[in-house]
């Protein structure tokens, strides 16, 4: 969708383009009128925004929208709040790592929003921390300086990378649950159900709500709404059928583990980005203020295509995503070699788990209005920056729905852009430099 830009440099106003009606079989099959939801008895009710999803992006959208007092939000989530990546991700935040790229403004604005939300919501796990670049093993050069004492195994390199002012962390599950709680306090509602479709007006150019199946009763219900937001992580690819557009998506399924933290870790917190090793690991290590050491970048990621994400596929819901025991063993070997005190001696982690990152072919987010549908929006495909970008995504969706314009130029992220399938290089980056595992 081509947007017209206002005179404010970073403000983009969106209008629905004039175009011929698109004939899409799914749309005709589920098209309904919204007249019943606009009864005279509800003239004073706030407009409803229906959000498909229950992860951090969806809950951020709900919180930011509900905070405006202009709308009431209804979330529809199949499994539970933070049941997927939002409950199992690392929560690393970096302010400037997107500089010079189309996502730079997302990084910087959302980094600031995280700090604001931590204070507003009373988060216990948010903090700024230094970030180190580390390599395991030995070398023939001088012994490297060990910038944290709990790196007490074999280390061939250890250097400062960023922070402490420019990098931070938060436990995503805590943030997601607190955003959800506060949205409910302000008047939002939450429904446990599987979204199965979108309702439209007679000509298919305006969404009139969601169709969902109640997870408890199995009954199908209609949820009338003024605006519709799809924020279902990798499962947002289902919107291809609902909106009649191509939403290419890969779910990057990866294993992570959690160890208990030592006193030294608690006293010397630092995020670690580790070089690739002989075990196929490219470890990212995040000590948490809650007394845990979270590890991802374990390697062996599985690329889950759209067919497997759709209903009936083996990865069609979050509770089907489980850890790979072989990658747990690899992580134990790699981390145990670098930190004897935490993972040495074959010590097993307390938690083994897995989740999927939603990744578009160009590794860019799918964020903004759906071309040709005046009141439908998407917020997904945030890849490895989903936790960082969630607050600004909620702010952007709120601005689109309540103001019709955004403070950040989101045209590169249009849900209806043509996306040619990319290749390796979709991992985390520190500006132009690849950092950590790439996929």
Whole-number pLDDT of residue 10: 44
> What's the confidence (pLDDT) of residue 420?
37
Q: Residues 36-56: pLDDT tens digits?
A: 444 444 457 899 999 999 999
pLDDT at 116 over 90: yes
Return d(Cα 306, Cα 248) in angstroms, integer: 7
Which token pair is 78? 């199949």
Domain assignments of the chain as residue spans, ordered by start? 9-14+24-36+45-87+173-248+361-430, 130-163+250-359
Determine the pLDDT at residue 429: 66
pTM for the model: 0.88
Phi, psi values for residue 208, rounded to 5°: -115, 5
**Average of per-residue pLDDT values in the chain:** 89
User: Which structure tokens are listed for 207?
Assistant: 């969404």
Q: Locate 103 and state its tokens.
A: 């996502």
pLDDT at 29 exceeding the cut of 50: no
Looking up tokens 């809650």, which residue turns up? 290
9-14+24-36+45-87+173-248+361-430 shares its CATH topology with 130-163+250-359: no
Q: How does DSSP classify residue 345?
A: T
Backbone angles phi, psi at 307, to 5 degrees: -60, -40
Report angle CA 420, 421, 426 to the nearest 5 degrees.
120
The pLDDT tens digits of the residues spanning 303-352 come to 999 999 999 999 999 999 999 999 999 999 999 999 999 999 999 999 99
In our burial notation (b when 16+ CB lie closer than 10 A, e otherwise), range 315-347 reads: bbbbeebebbeebbebbbbbbbbbbebbbeeeb
Taking each helix axis from N to C end, the angle separating 104-121 and 386-402, rounded to the nearest 10 degrees, works out to 90
| pLDDT for 423 beyond 70 | no
H helical segments located in 11-129: 25-30, 56-67, 85-88, 104-121
For strands 92-94 and 167-169, give the pairing.
antiparallel
The single residue listed with the structure tokens 């009936």 is 312
Question: d(Cα 358, Cα 297) in Å, to the nearest integer?
Answer: 16
Q: Which residue has the tokens 């199992």?
A: 88
Q: What is the pLDDT of residue 22?
A: 42
Check pLDDT > 70 for residue 104: yes
Q: How confident is the model at residue 12 (pLDDT cuts 50, 70, 90)?
A: low
**CATH node for 130-163+250-359:** 3.30.9
Instruction: Dig out the tokens for 240 from the structure.
Output: 């291809």
Percent of the chain with pLDDT over 90: 83
- CA distances from residue 339 to 158, 262, 292, 308, 342 in whole angstroms, order as listed: 13, 11, 14, 38, 6
Higher per-residue pLDDT: 79 or 11 = 79
Both ends of the chain: CA-CA distance in Å? 28
Task: Report how far apart, in Å, the C-alpha atoms of 153 and of each of 215, 278, 290 are.
Answer: 49, 16, 24
Average pLDDT over residues 241-261: 96
Burial 291-312 (b: 16+ CB within 10 A, else e): ebbbbbbbbbbbebebebbeee
Give me the pLDDT at residue 276, please.
96
d(CA 306, CA 185): 36
Determine the Cα–Cα distance for residues 142 and 149; give it in Å rounded to an integer: 17
Report how far residue 426's alpha carbon sits from residue 359's, in angstroms, rounded to the nearest whole number. 8
Transcribe 367-432 into DSSP letters: EEEPTT-TTEEEEE--GGGHHHHHHHHHHHHHHHHHTSEESS--GGG-TTS------S--S-EETT
- The residues facing 356 across adjacent strands are 253
> What distance lies between CA 371 and its chain's CA centroid?
22
Say which CATH topology domain 9-14+24-36+45-87+173-248+361-430 has. Answer: FAD/NAD(P)-binding domain (3.50.50)
Q: 3-class SS at 146?
A: coil
Across 128-142, average pLDDT: 90
Strands 227-230 and 250-260: unpaired
Q: Residue 123 corresponds to which tokens in the numbers above? A: 């988060």
Beta bridge partners of 207: 200
Number of H helices, E strands in the chain: 11, 24
């Amino acid at each position: 969708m081509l947007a017209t830009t206002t005179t404010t440099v970073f403000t983009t106003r969106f209008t629905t383009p004039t175009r011929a009606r698109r004939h899409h079989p799914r749309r005709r099959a589920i098209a309904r009128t919204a007249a019943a939801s606009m009864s005279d008895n509800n003239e004073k009710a706030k407009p409803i925004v229906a959000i498909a999803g229950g992860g951090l992006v969806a809950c951020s959208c709900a919180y930011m929208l509900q905070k405006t007092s202009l709308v009431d939000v209804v979330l529809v989530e199949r499994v539970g709040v933070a049941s997927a990546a939002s409950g199992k991700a690392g929560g690393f935040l970096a302010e400037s790592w997107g500089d010079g790229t189309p996502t730079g403004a997302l990084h910087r604005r959302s980094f600031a929003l995280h700090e604001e939300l931590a204070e507003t919501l009373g988060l216990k796990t948010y903090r700024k921390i230094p970030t180190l670049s580390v390599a395991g093993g030995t070398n023939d050069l001088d012994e490297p300086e060990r910038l944290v004492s709990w790196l007490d195994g074999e280390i061939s390199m250890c250097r400062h990378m960023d922070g402490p002012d420019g990098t931070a962390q938060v436990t995503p599950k805590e943030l997601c649950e607190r955003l959800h709680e506060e949205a409910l306090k302000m008047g939002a509602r939450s429904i446990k159900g599987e979204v199965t479709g979108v309702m439209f007006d007679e000509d298919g150019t305006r969404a009139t709500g969601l169709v969902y199946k109640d997870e408890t009763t199995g009954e199908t219900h209609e949820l009338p709404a003024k605006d519709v937001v799809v924020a279902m992580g990798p499962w947002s690819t289902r919107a291809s059928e609902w909106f009649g557009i191509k939403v290419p998506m890969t779910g990057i399924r990866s294993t992570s583990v959690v160890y208990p933290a030592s006193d030294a870790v608690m006293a010397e917190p630092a995020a670690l980005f580790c070089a690739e090793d002989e075990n196929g690991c490219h470890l990212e290590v995040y000590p948490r203020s809650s007394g845990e050491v979270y590890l991802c970048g374990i390697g062996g990621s599985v690329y889950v295509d759209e067919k497997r994400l759709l209903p009936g596929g083996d990865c069609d819901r979050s509770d089907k995503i489980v850890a790979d025991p072989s990658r747990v063993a690899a992580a134990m070997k790699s981390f145990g070699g670098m930190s004897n005190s935490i993972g040495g001696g074959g010590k097993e982690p307390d938690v083994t788990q897995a989740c999927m990152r939603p990744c578009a072919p160009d590794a860019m987010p799918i964020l903004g209005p759906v071309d040709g549908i005046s009141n439908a929006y998407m917020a997904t495909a945030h890849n490895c920056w989903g936790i960082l970008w969630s607050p600004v995504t909620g702010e952007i969706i709120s601005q689109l729905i309540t103001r019709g314009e955004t403070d950040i130029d989101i045209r590169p992220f249009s849900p209806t852009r043509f996306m040619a399938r990319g290749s390796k290089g979709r991992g985390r980056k520190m500006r132009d430099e690849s950092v950590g595992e790439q996929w």
